[in-house]
Amino acid sequence: MTVSSRAPAQKREITRLQELVYELRVQDAMTTKVITVTPQMTMAEFREVLRANRISGTPVVEGGRMVGIISIEDLIKALAAGELGATVGEKMTPNPVTLYEDEPLVHAVGKFSKLGYGRFPVINRQGDLVGIIVQGDIVRALLRRLEIEYHEEEVRRYRASHIFEDILADQVTLRFRYNVVARDFVRAGDASSRLKTTLSRLGIDPRTVRRVAIAAYEAEMNIVIYADSGELIVEVDPTRVHLLAIDRGPGIPDIEKAMEPGFSTAPDWVREMGFGAGMGLPNIKNCADEMRLESTVGVGTRLEVVIYL
């Protein structure tokens, strides 16, 4: 499968599918209700079993033990040879290739493509027949799991939102750190994006999450535009979100001036991107309950924002 380097979403989905065939086990995909036949049955009776159950092959079982496998291909050969009266025992493939129920699904994928069989009986480690698997089962299991994962973001959110109750301590503070790469306009905003997702998962009120995200994004853009390197450090406790944006860079000579709406030192290329209109710091201030800005020219800038929950 070819993957375009320009489609990150698609790339991730394919990787997730690849992961899934390792995560899922044969038992997650197999059919447990197995139709079987005995070696004493005639091929005519076998044909009736296939027709009635709309299947194309079955394991052959005698005295509780699997002794072979027989498929529609064996039936066609018997028909062509006029041997519908022959027994299943004579026409079956003895000692069929099996899969263990606890093997990763990728083993099944490998055996299907290597051996070209239409189905594999599935056994447990004691050797008992517990199921049967065809290629369609694998696709169905993967689709089912992807569907479940689609809803899992909600579960993840639910679980994360209980973290403060689950951790037993007098005070709990979560701390996240995000690196910000200077002058990388394509990745700019990635840190704030991940922070926003994380805060949503913690179950924080969406309006509060939005305020933190906007403040973080403006701070991140300032680092990308003006600094040489920097980071966002976020601490969350049950009462507040504390955002610290630190950079190493030219610093701000006149903080009071920088806080004025409309004041900007941004170069043209930044303005062309829709930024640098002198609204970043005022925007952060509007989102914040508390804001502190310190800067040393030639060293860097430290911006602290507190938003109460």
Partner 1 sequence: MKLRDVLEIIEGKVITKNTDLDLEVSMGCGADLMSDVLAFTHEGTLLMTGLTNPQVVRTAEMAGIHAIVFVRGKVPPPETIALAEEKGIALLASKYTMFETCGRLYKAGLPSCGLFEASLKSWREFFGEV
Measured distance CA(293)–CA(307) in Å, rounded? 15
CB 12 → partner 1: shortest distance, Å?
A: 8
By CB under 8 A, tell whether 179 contacts partner 1: no
CB 303 → partner 1: shortest distance, Å?
A: 16
By CB under 8 A, tell whether 253 contacts partner 1: no
By CB under 8 A, tell whether 261 contacts partner 1: yes
By CB under 8 A, tell whether 44 contacts partner 1: no
Contacts of 262 (CB under 8 A, 6+ apart): 277, 278, 279
Closer Cβ to partner 1, 141 or 202, answer by number: 202
Closer Cβ to partner 1, 119 or 196, answer by number: 196
By CB under 8 A, tell whether 151 contacts partner 1: no
- Sheet with 300-308: list strands edge to edge: 174-181, 229-237, 240-248, 300-308, 290-296
Among 63, 64, 82, 274, binds partner 1 (CB under 8 A): 274
Stretch that binds partner 1, among 116-124, 188-196, 236-244, 246-254 (CB under 8 A): 188-196
Task: Tell me which residues in 193-222 interact with partner 1 (CB under 8 A).
Answer: 193, 196, 206-207, 210, 213-214, 216-218, 221
Closer Cβ to partner 1, 114 or 207, answer by number: 207
By CB under 8 A, tell whether 146 contacts partner 1: no
Closer Cβ to partner 1, 109 or 273, answer by number: 273
CB 285 → partner 1: shortest distance, Å?
A: 8
Contacts of 117 (CB under 8 A, 6+ apart): 97, 111
Stretch that binds partner 1, among 82-90, 232-240, 280-288, 296-304 (CB under 8 A): 280-288
Closer Cβ to partner 1, 86 or 214, answer by number: 214
Closer Cβ to partner 1, 254 or 272, answer by number: 272
Give the count of beta carbons closer than 10 Å to the beta carbon of residue 58: 23
- Residue 249, Cα to own-chain centre: how many angstroms? 37
CB 220 → partner 1: shortest distance, Å?
A: 9
Among 100, 282, 306, 309, binds partner 1 (CB under 8 A): 282
Chain residues binding partner 1 by CB under 8 A are 6-9, 185-186, 188-189, 192-193, 196, 206-207, 210, 213-214, 216-218, 221, 261, 273-275, 277, 279-280, 282-283, 286
